Structure 1
Amino acid sequence: MVSFGSSSSGPQFWIASDRLNDRKVAFYSNFLLKETAVSHLVSIQAQVRDPAAVIAACTRLKLSAPINCTVRLFSAQETGLAVQLPGWKYPVVCQTESGELKYDDFGGRWGDRGELDRFLQAYAVEKAKIEARRQGHSVTEQQLADGSIRVQIAVAG
């Protein structure tokens, strides 16, 4: 879940792992946006498109650096940034041109989906930080007890 809000110190948002849709090959993470200043909910489809944020997420999680290559999954070959998650038989392939993730975890038997949740959470946090800093804003973050990560962006100016 991602929620945005405002305070006297600037806009804030929180990012936490979302429950994954049970898709075997193609994956899109759905995050729920909640605007706290206005009472409405908006659903968006988050896509993994930024190679720098993929690298930063891997570094954050102490994973091996992603490799741009073609990998063999159980029944297919996929090309993109290959990320090897802990305990996964096959890597997750980030196709940054389309934003899709390709993987085969055999319904969780070949990899714990919680590791994919952690990677997507780390990607979302790192992407938010990259974009905020690109626009000249400062960023702080805090790990919360429930596993979510609070990212606060102080808007410059």
Structure 2
Amino acid sequence: MSHIVSIQTEIRDPVAIRSACDRLRLPEPVFGEVKLFSSSATGWAVQLPEWRYPVVCVVNAAKLAFDNFGGRWGDPKQLDRFQQIYAVQKATMEARKRGHSVIEQPLEDGSIKLTVNVGGAA
């Protein structure tokens, strides 16, 4: 039986953050207090391509702290891509933990279709 699921991503898992960074060939995330333009945040700092300041993943609150000055200091598409790949990596990790196999398919509109086969059958 087939089921369609929509996922609202909350970035809470440092392992999946690191996995998303690896997949996107970003620098390894670093935990600590990070200075943004006029504030600071503590969490996992992810440096996106051509962003002046990192995005800080505050995992205990499932929030992102960043300052891209309305897109002038960083393309929002880079953040969208990071969140998308984080969701793919996290969903895949959770499915595999439960013994399921996962097939990933990029779609023309830029989205990614994940097919989770319960019991590991491909």
Flag whether TM exceeds 0.5 (same fold): yes
Q: Secondary structure of the residue that 1:140 maps to in structure 2?
A: strand
Alignment of 1:68-79 (within 5 A): 68-79=31-42
Map Cα deviations across residues 8-61 of structure 1 (whole Å, 9 max, x no partner). xxx565xxxxxxxxxxxxxxxxxxx3xxxxxxxxxx753100111111111111
Aligned residues: 120
Confirm or deny that 1:147 pairs with 2:110: yes
Equivalent pair of 2:9/2:83 in contact (CA under 8 Å): no
- Quote the Cα distance in structure 1 between the aligned partners of 2:4 and 2:119: 14
Select which of 71, 79, 83 maps to 2:46. Answer: 83
TM-score, length basis structure 2: 0.91
Tell me if 1:55 matches 2:18: yes
Q: When you count strand as a share of all residues, which structure comes out higher?
A: 1
Q: Could you give the per-residue CA deviations for residues 93-126 of structure 1, whole angstroms, max 9, x where no partner exists?
A: 0011111000001111100000000000000100
User: Matches of 1:45 and 1:98 in 2, distance apart?
Assistant: 15
- Deviations 1:44-79 (CA, angstroms, capped at 9, x unpaired): 753100111111111111101100111100011111
Higher helix share: 2
- 1:5-154 alignment runs, 5 A limit: 6=2, 11=3, 33=6, 45-154=8-117
* Counterpart residue identity of residue 85, structure 1: L
Q: CA deviation at 1:143?
A: 1.4
What's the RMSD between the two structures over aligned residues? 1.7
Q: Secondary structure at the match of 1:152?
A: strand
- Residue 119 of structure 2: SS of its match in structure 1? coil
Q: Give distance in 2, aligned partners of 1:93 and 1:121.
A: 16
| Preserved CA contact (<8 Å) 1:68 1:80 | yes
List runs of 5+ in structure 2 lacking aligned partners: none
Aligned-pair CA distance for 1:145:
1.8
